[in-house]
Amino acid sequence: MQMPTNKFKQALAQRRPQFGLFMGLANPISAEILATCGYDFLLIDAEHGLNDTRCVQTQLQAMAPYPVQCLVRPASHDPALIKQILGTGVQTLLVPMVDTAEHARAIVSSMHYPPKGIRGVGTGLERGARWNAISDYFAKGAEELCLIVQIESRTALENLDEIAAVEGVDAVFIGPSDLAASLGYLGRVSHPDVKAAIEDALTRIASHGKAAGVFCADASLAASYQASGAHFVALGADTGLLRSAAIKLLDSVQPQSGNANVGAGY
């Protein structure tokens, strides 16, 4: 059996635009439905949602027949957790709350086997190696791994150049919600100061030869971020889309329902 190719990583290297969604419903059926919709990537959120390692694997299995690429955001930098998630077959991690180059280097180490890193070897027990069915897993596995570090604090912005320069970091993703809060604009991701900080960060990331990404549910703002250098954009989340569609349907027959639709910002 051949090692699966990480087409998301390939697209990053070629700087091809990619659009995706976050997934927090923790359900293989909704994951499979979204896998048929034409997005370039779907990101299972195990940081804020209810997705545990077993749930991540069932969603990967549900999406496997489709060409969409799957990313996972773990709950923390814990090497044991990262090892387990990689064991499910995930090839691309988006790791949150990376504030320093030291954080980034530690995550790189957690993703790789010795001597490059500290990841434990357990291929016979893991879907990632297809339970040893992939004969060249140790030779080819590392080539297909992709690490995206998430920048979402004032401290991270201050250290962005050092973080982006870390070997083993493939891309840097901007999380507007936490960044806005850190900058003093909680809940105001579209504030001009937040927007300016994001645009500056995107430009700086590109200057280090790394791909840049951002969460943005506003189409016009997403276009602006692309112009500033964003190569991949998360356009929303399954939970928000479900609520928005449900409200839109109800309002179409009951215009005075008074529902408020608050967009998510990841």
Percent of the chain with pLDDT over 90: 89
259: in domain: no
What are the catalytic residues?
A: 48
Looking at residue 259, what is its pLDDT? 61
Tokens of residue 167, six digits: 């070997």
| Strand, helix or coil for residue 18 | strand
Give the CATH number, domain containing residue 21. Answer: 3.20.20.60
Phi–psi pair at 157, nearest 5 degrees: -60, -40
264: in domain: no
260: in domain: no
Token look-up 């980034």 returns 104
CB 44 within 8 A of CB 70: yes
For residue 260, pLDDT beyond 60: no
At 33-65, the pLDDT tens digits run 999 999 999 999 999 989 999 999 999 999 999
Name the pLDDT band for 135 (thresholds 50, 70, 90): confident
Would you tell me how many other CB atoms lie within 10 Å of the CB of residue 64? 13
2: in domain: no
247: in domain: yes
Give mean pLDDT, residues 70-85: 97
Domain count of the chain? 1
262: in domain: no
Range of the structural domain that residue 30 is part of:
7-253
For residue 257, pLDDT beyond 70: no
265: in domain: no
Give mean pLDDT, residues 156-171: 97
Between 67 and 266, where is the model more confident? Answer: 67
Q: How far apart are CA 223 and CA 106, in angstroms?
A: 33
For residue 261, pLDDT beyond 60: no
Tokens of residue 128, six digits: 């990632």
Looking at residue 82, what is its pLDDT? 97
For residue 258, pLDDT beyond 90: no
Cβ neighbours for 185, distance < 8 A, ≥ 6 positions apart: 191, 193, 194
Looking at residue 139, what is its pLDDT? 85
For residue 265, pLDDT beyond 60: no
At 178-227, the pLDDT tens digits run 999 999 999 999 999 999 999 999 999 999 999 999 999 998 899 999 99
Q: How far apart are CA 1 and CA 127, in angstroms?
A: 13
Looking at residue 104, what is its pLDDT? 98
Looking at residue 49, what is its pLDDT? 83
Tokens of residue 118, six digits: 């500290």
86: in domain: yes
Name the pLDDT band for 123 (thresholds 50, 70, 90): confident
